[in-house]
Amino acid sequence: MAKVIVKKKIDAPTSTLGDVKSYARKIWLAGLGAYAKVGQEGSEYFQELIKAGQAVEKKGKKVVAEKLEAANAEIDEVKSEVSTFKGRVEVQLDKVEKAFDTRVASALNRIGIPSKHDVETLSAKLDELTALLERVARKS
C-alpha cells in the first residue's frame, strides 16, 4: 500500500508540472505569434497611419486656407469702409476749416486787422512804388 500512495503523490506533482510547462509553452508561442503578426502587419498599419495623417493634414490646410481667405475678404471690406469714411471725414473737415477761416477773417476784418490778401496787395503796391522811385531817382 505504501507504494500506491507514493505513486499517487509522485503523479500529482508531475501532472501539475506538465500543466505549467504546457501553459508556459502556450504563452511563449502566443508571444512569438504576436511578434510575427506585428512584424507583418506593423509596417502596413504604419503606412495606413501615414495616409490618414496626410488626409487630415490636407483637410486642415484647406480649412486654414478658407478661413484665411474669409479673413482677408473681411479686412478688404473694412478697408473699403474705412476709406469711404475717411473721405467723408476729410470733406467735413475741409468744410469746418473753411467756415473757421471765414469767421476768423471776418472777425479780424471787423477789428481792423488786414487779411493776408490785403497785406499781399499792399506789398505788391509797395514794390511798384519802390521800383518807380528808383527809376525816378536814377533819372535825376
**What would the pLDDT profile of 89-110 be if each residue is shown by its tens digit?**
999 999 999 999 889 888 888 8
Amino acid 3: pLDDT: 52
Amino acid 37: pLDDT: 78
Q: Which domain holds residue 71?
A: 2-139
Assign 28 a pLDDT band (cuts: 50, 70, 90): confident
Distances (CA, A) of 90 to 25, 79, 87, 96: 92, 16, 5, 10
Name the residue with higher pLDDT: 41 or 76.
76
Amino acid 13: pLDDT: 56
Distances (CA, A) of 60 to 30, 54, 57: 41, 10, 5
For the chain, what is the radius of gyration of the CA atoms?
A: 53
Residue 1, pLDDT > 50, answer: no
Assign 124 a pLDDT band (cuts: 50, 70, 90): very high
In the chain, how many domains are there?
1
Residue 114, pLDDT > 60, answer: yes
Assign 35 a pLDDT band (cuts: 50, 70, 90): confident
Residue 83, pLDDT > 50, answer: yes
Q: pTM to 2 decimals?
A: 0.40
